[in-house]
Amino acid sequence: MIFAALPRSVHKALKAAGAQYHLSGRLDGPDPDAMLTARFVCDWSITEEAIDTFLDHLHRA
């Protein structure tokens, strides 16, 4: 489990790419640079490919 603060614009890009995670705060707020905290969790059955895909989306955001 990882808690990370990222800009709202990054969360919007991740969610648009289909990422599913818990977000503390409103995604539709006015400031794209506002930091919102996320909780990233994966279970035992997630594939390395799925993690790599998520990280690729994160790097492009």
* Rounded Cα gap, residues 40 and 34, in angstroms: 18
Q: How many CA atoms lie within 13 A of 19 on its CB side?
A: 25
Tell me the per-residue pLDDT of 6-61, one tens digit each, with 9 for 90 and over. Answer: 999 999 999 999 999 999 999 999 999 999 999 999 999 999 999 999 999 999 98
* Rounded Cα gap, residues 23 and 40, in angstroms: 9
Give residue 17's pLDDT.
95
What's the pTM value of the predicted model, to 2 decimals?
A: 0.87
* Rounded Cα gap, residues 14 and 7, in angstroms: 11
The tally of domains found in the chain comes to 1
Print the domain residue range for 6. 2-60
